[in-house]
Amino acid sequence: MTDTFVIEHLCFSYPEQSGVILRDMSLTVRRGEFLVLCGPSGCGKSTLLRQLKTVLAPHGRRSGTILFEGQPLDSMDQRQQTERIGFVQQSPDNQIVTDKVWHELAFGLESLGYETPVIRQRVAEMAAFFGIENWFYKNVTELSGGQKQLLNLASVMAMQPSVLILDEPTSQLDPIAASDFLATLGRINRELGTTIILTEHRLEDAFPLATRVAVMEEGRLLCSGTPAEVGAALRTSGHTMFLAMPTAMRVWAVVEQNGSCPVTVREGREWLTDYGAKHPLHPIPPEPSRVYPEEPVLEASELWFKYEKDSPDVVRGLSLTLKKGEFYALLGGNGAGKSTSLKLLAGLLKPYRGTVNCQGTIGVLPQNPQALFVKKTVREDLAEILGGRKAEQAERIAHVVALCRLEGLLDRHPYDLSGGEQQRAALAKVLLLNPDILLMDEPTKGLDAEFKQVLAEILQVLLRRGVTILMVSHDIGFCARYAHRCALFFDGSTVAKGTPRAFFSGNSFYTTSANRMARELEPEAVTPEDVITLCGGHLPPAPELPDDIPPLPEPKEGSPAEKPKKLPWWRKLLAALSAGIALFLFLSFMGVADLTELVTAEGLTSLAGEQLVLYLIFCISLIVFAVCITRRSHRPDYLKQTPKEQRKLAKRTLAATVLILLLIPVTLFVGITYLGGKKYYFISLLILLETMLPFFLVFEGRKPQARELVIIAVLCAIGVAGRAFFFMLPQFKPVMAVTIIAGVAFGGETGFLVGAMTMLASNVMFGQGPLAPWQMFSMGIIGFLAGILFRKGLLMRTRGALCVFGALCAILIYGGIMNPASALTANRELTGGILLSSYVVGMPFDCIHAMATWLFLWFGAEPMLEKLDRIKVKYGLVE
């Protein structure tokens, strides 16, 4: 029988990172097995899974081979991989692409071109198998997190894949929904024979389903075998990964009994009952009694909240009181309103009824840690939140770096970290604020068992300092061991409260595996530590936080920007004079509000002639200013120009230049001369086709990835949205700035495409007119020119140089084309007088366009180009 996957000597590292993520990884996945892949956070699990489907594989340096059903994975086309290899991601919302449940089920089959009867049959079958009939016609926005993830699974299974890959699919689900989801995976594996590869931190529920377990560490395969074999191997080696094993295995290992290792709760209960019959059981220590100050630090009274006026209430009469130094855990199902309640308590949302009283500062750790990251490295992100207080930065940052174990992550981009690493970095950033009240939404999501213990110790330190903690969580085991009080959130409020033992020992589903195992012998045992104590075992030591603060690791070489050299005094003086002249002329242009002062029935006035001279001086002043402020690159990470050996234009670019400069103007001439300018819809279609020709040449030459097409589409969408947003301000639009940025970032052909397509798409909203083809051509030319000049090293990426280039393009190119085009469209002829009149009349609007482009480039060019540079490197969008 052919194995599903054979991975041999696979190595992988991300671009611009010296560390290796996968190191000589070799693994065989047999057909029909249920493989659980586990390991510490950041060990490379997600990276390995994404290598198993090329469309999801990250860009980077890779070696080794991957065979799928005996065939090299890289040789399979996308259709085969889509049908045969199913992939369910961590976040349910990231994979849903349509608006209705039934359409989501059919989407994959429609994309593969299946006939309607086949689609209807498979959709009906999946809906019945997964129990989706009751919400078959619902909007996907109305579904809970568990239903969304089940819908993702059903949509993938509709294509009948031979292997199903799942990357922590239950990380955002409540315990009941997660258990149901994993049970469905077990059913798929048993009844359909589908091979399943699953990464999961909920090993308590995943291990009983697994036929084999593989453990990874630092990109290598540590061990593999049946769940019992892996548990025994980790126990013998004393590996910290053993902390993540199911409760039954951990208790069995610590008590040191011979015999087979229990894996499931049922096996653990049988083993414990047998052990209790042969050995005396020890009493578990009582829960610690805690005394808090009388004055509450956070108090909510009868909170009511809804997101829309006519929508149902999400929070209904919520009341709670938190004391100083208390650790309060809030549990409940997905969509119950826990995160909304957290935002109400933090002041991020305002209830329409009820009050919130707070004493002290509040720090919030959101469910999505990426919401806190604003810089390019973890180091910069941590320094950013402290502001300008340089003296205390190093010591405080070093402290949280040691606490959260971020030493090796400081120079990495926060978005490049694993889910657990992002949680640690976000927690460190919040801790730098020294909050009096810490509100956390799913803080243990994505964390491995070892760091959960470290997190617990961090929280204990905070509690000893008097910090109050409110945590929303699905991690029952963590809450049972460390929380002071627990509450169940249901129907918009809390319906059950109590200490961990009182809360969990009375529940059937919202309880721990330890309690399910031991409740017949000791009903109040709710943690593995309780059961170990019950059996007389010795508890493993808790991790110790460092007493001394280690020095902050130095940044990598070349990461800080070099200090820019100062401009000589004469260039500063000349730049100031030219800028002053340009500003004075701009204000004078704006002062001429009556166009009859410039153009009359007899022609141009004397003032118009003066204005034309001033127009020329204005352009010269801008050019002088650009030359004066432009200097050599002082930020190698951002201002790096195209190397000289790569500045030669490709043949496809030269061909695109010929097409743009000859074919499109000819089309415009024919449209005006022979069609009378009335067939502008037809002319627009021709321009559109000719606009696409250079892009077709690019496509045939280097076959751009889907990722690049998406980025181009997003740039066009930004331009269209910007033009629509500023529609009330004539000529004050960001379209030209976005077009120039696109050309500089991705080349002249892409710049032309973004400019032309943005004008075409935005004119659909404003109404197509006879000037639409001219606008497409003008804006496309500017994007193309920006790409060519940057490629040749003639256009710098400094903010000043880009701003001046944009202003000149607005006046000389866009205005130089659109002014005579407007006159020609209106007069059906073009004489010298008409041409001069068009420039005189259009000059104020050109200046407004230049000023707008200057402003948008001044504030937007640098951050957008930095983001696009990162995208190009990360996804391999570099020639």
DSSP line for 752-789: HHHHHHHHHHHHHHH---TTHHHHHHHHHHHHHHHHHH
Residue 674's pLDDT is 67
In a domain, 155, yes or no: yes
Q: 147-180: buried (b, 16+ CB within 10 Å) or exposed (e) per residue?
A: bbbbbbbbbbbbbebbbbbbbbbbbbbbbebbbb
Is the domain of 521 the same as that of 647?
no
How far apart CA 341 and CA 353 sit, in angstroms, is: 13
Residue 780's pLDDT is 87
3-state secondary structure 709-744: HHHHHHHHHHHHHHHHHCCCCCCCCCHHHHHHHHHH
Q: In Å, how far from its chain's centre is CA 334? A: 21
How far apart CA 466 and CA 717 sit, in angstroms, is: 50
Mean pLDDT taken over the chain: 82
Is the domain of 229 the same as that of 321?
no
| Cβ-based neighbours of 225, under 8 Å, separated by 6 or more | 212, 213, 233
Transcribe 812-844 into DSSP letters. Answer: IIIHHHHHHHHHHHHHSS--HHHHHHHHHHHHH
How far apart CA 634 and CA 798 sit, in angstroms, is: 10
Residue 175's pLDDT is 81
**Do the beta carbons of residue 255 and residue 263 sit within 8 Å?**
no
Is the domain of 226 the same as that of 103?
yes
How far apart CA 587 and CA 847 sit, in angstroms, is: 10
Across 105-132, average pLDDT: 90
In a domain, 863, yes or no: yes
| Cβ-based neighbours of 288, under 8 Å, separated by 6 or more | none
In a domain, 806, yes or no: yes
**Is pLDDT above 80 for 21?**
yes
φ and ψ at residue 485, rounded to 5 degrees: -135, 145
Q: Read off the pLDDT band of 311 (50, 70, 90).
A: confident
Return the axis-axis angle of helices 772-791 and 651-658, rounded to nearest 10°. Answer: 150
Instruction: Tell if the pTM clears 0.95, that is, is over it.
Output: no
Q: Read off the pLDDT band of 11 (50, 70, 90).
A: very high
Is the domain of 820 the same as that of 742?
yes
In a domain, 628, yes or no: no
Q: Read off the pLDDT band of 486 (50, 70, 90).
A: very high
How far apart CA 567 and CA 571 sit, in angstroms, is: 6
Is the domain of 718 the same as that of 824?
yes
Q: What percent of the chain stands above pLDDT 70?
A: 82
83: which 2 tokens?
């049908």
Is the domain of 229 the same as that of 349?
no
CATH at 714: 1.10.1760.20
Sheet holding 315-323, edge to edge: 315-323, 296-305, 353-358
Q: What is the pLDDT of residues 815-851, one digit of tens each?
A: 888 877 777 666 655 555 666 666 666 777 788 788 8
Number of domains in the chain: 3
Across 560-569, average pLDDT: 58
Is the domain of 311 the same as that of 200?
no
Residue 717's pLDDT is 92
φ and ψ at residue 494, rounded to 5 degrees: -90, 135
In a domain, 31, yes or no: yes
In a domain, 302, yes or no: yes
Q: In Å, how far from its chain's centre is CA 155? A: 23
| Position with higher pLDDT, 74 vs 567 | 74
**Is pLDDT above 80 for 237?**
no
Please state which of the ranges 189-203, 289-303, 428-442, 829-843 shows the lowest mean pLDDT.
829-843
847: which 2 tokens?
């200046």
Is the domain of 331 the same as that of 465?
yes
- Residue that is last in its domain, among 485, 517, 534: 534
Residue 30's pLDDT is 93
Q: What is the pLDDT of residues 539-564, one digit of tens each?
A: 766 666 655 566 666 666 544 444 45
Is the domain of 226 the same as that of 310?
no
Q: What is the pLDDT of residues 851-865, one digit of tens each?
A: 889 888 888 888 898
Which structural domain, as residue segments, surrounds residue 106?
A: 5-245
| Position with higher pLDDT, 408 vs 739 | 739
Is the domain of 222 the same as that of 312?
no
19: which 2 tokens?
């560390």
Residue 560's pLDDT is 43
**Is pLDDT above 70 for 647?**
no
**Is pLDDT above 90 for 37?**
yes
In a domain, 290, yes or no: no
**Do the beta carbons of residue 476 and residue 510 sit within 8 Å?**
yes
Residue 360's pLDDT is 87
- Residue that is last in its domain, among 514, 534, 554: 534
Is the domain of 472 the same as that of 389?
yes
**Is pLDDT above 80 for 609?**
no
In a domain, 635, yes or no: no
How far apart CA 808 and CA 537 sit, in angstroms, is: 79
Residue 634's pLDDT is 45
Residue 357's pLDDT is 92
Is the domain of 223 the same as that of 332?
no
CATH at 118: 3.40.50.300
Across 403-418, average pLDDT: 83
Q: Read off the pLDDT band of 690 (50, 70, 90).
A: confident
DSSP state of 88: E
- Residue that is last in its domain, among 515, 534, 553: 534
Q: What type of residue is 875?
A: Y
Residue 538's pLDDT is 75
